[in-house]
Amino acid sequence: MTKKILLIATRQIGDVLLVTPLLRSLRYAYPQATIDILVNKGKGEILIGNPDYNNLISVTEHPDFAEYKVLFKQIFRNYDLAISTLAGDRPLLYAILAAPKRVAIVPPKRWQDAWKRLLVDAWTELDDRCTPTVVQNLRLADLLNIPRCNEVVTPQLNDSIEILDSLLPFKWQEQNFAVLHLVPLRHYKRWTVSGWKDLIEYLLHKKLYVVLTGGYDESEMEYIQNVVLDMPNTVVNVAGKLRFADVAKLIKNGKIYVGPDTSITHLAAATGIPTVALFGPTNPQKWSPWPCNYNSEVPFQRKGSQTINNVTLLQGPGDCVPCHQEGCYQHRESSSRCLEELSCATVIEAVNGLIGD
């Protein structure tokens, strides 16, 4: 009997959110089991308020000896089953330490990775091009012969309404508003300041309040301030003031959400709100937001702007798109011409397609 499970998801915040369909599949299949999740430090907050796991274990991305020692005590042979959602060396070593039974995603066949296939009970091969991340994770459920749950699960906390009431100067549960998330983690995924300004002006003309979400990073807050400078008080900036569960509650009550390729856009898609996702270099076939109530294999194709269920994905122009590189100059602070050339008129047209003229 499987009594204790360790799910290993040591990547970025968005990746952790996209493991929740697998997590829910495990919870439904093993309702009495203890299910713990191992994440990178600071990346597990998006799970706070998720009902499907028991304990969150965190480790730094590059642990030193002392951190390894602490983690070893926490996980060594403490589980019946370990599941690695990553193909790297370190996640699989964690799985080997944690449990006698292991299933994992492994890299495509190379002689230097042969040990990974030998040391797990079952594996599925990583496809970093055509298979959506949600589906890639759910293939691990297939290996365990348990039913898939395709739902990306949003966190919920009981006091979110109270927190939003204290921050928003309008009746957010009654009045129409748009939610915009302006700043992704990586610079090369950014849209333009002028585009955001023009979109906000249009939404205000439509008699919508506009709520801006964002993180705690100083540069992110400065970017948002540059956008909202001289804007009326119907534009509300709550960046750095909300937990992920609060953001999910806010978005779910909104009229429309617009955001770049970032974890909050994945969260928005999962709430069911009409969502406009602005994509540039990233391959949407692999990394698109998972539309609400979508139950097939591949929602979005690699090329072109598309709408599936509640999600409209807008792709910047250019024959090179998606290059799946870190912008035009292939580093995280690079610009991306495809996003710089994505017009506000195109975004407004998509917004109208979801909420009406």
- Encode pLDDT of 293-333 as tens digits: 999 999 999 999 999 999 999 999 999 999 989 999 988 88
Chosen CATH of 4-143 out of 3.40.50.10420, 3.40.50.620, 3.40.50.2000, 3.40.1280.10? 3.40.50.2000
d(CA 324, CA 331): 12
Band (pLDDT 50/70/90 cuts) for residue 1 is confident
Domain ranges, ordered by start, for the chain: 4-143, 160-355
- Encode pLDDT of 216-258 as tens digits: 888 888 889 888 888 999 999 999 999 999 999 999 999 999 9
Question: Is pLDDT of 171 > 80?
Answer: yes
Q: What is the CA radius of gyration of the chain?
A: 21
State the DSSP string of 290-323. Answer: --TT--SS--S-SSS-EEETTEEEEE---TT---
pLDDT at 357: 62
Band (pLDDT 50/70/90 cuts) for residue 185 is confident
Nearest alpha carbon to residue 322 among 344, 350, 301, 343: 301
d(CA 262, CA 264): 6
Average pLDDT for 188-205: 95
pLDDT at 218: 86
Which contiguous run of DSSP H or E holds residue 180?
strand 177-181
Phi, psi of 213, deg, nearest 5? -105, 165
d(CA 165, CA 44): 25
Question: Domain 160-355 classified CATH 3.40.50.2000?
Answer: yes
Q: In sequence order, which residues have a C-beta less than 8 Å from that of residue 201 and are 6 or more positions away? A: none
% residues pLDDT > 70 (the chain): 100
Residue 324, Ramachandran bin (φ over 0: left; ψ between -120 and 50: alpha; else beta): left
Chain centre distance of CA 135: 14
Which of 3-17, 137-151, 213-227 bottoms out in mean pLDDT, i.e. has the lowest? Answer: 213-227
Chain centre distance of CA 318: 25
Question: Is pLDDT of 102 > 80?
Answer: yes
Structural tokens at position 232: 């009326």
Question: Do 4-143 and 160-355 fold alike per CATH?
Answer: yes
Mean pLDDT of the chain: 95
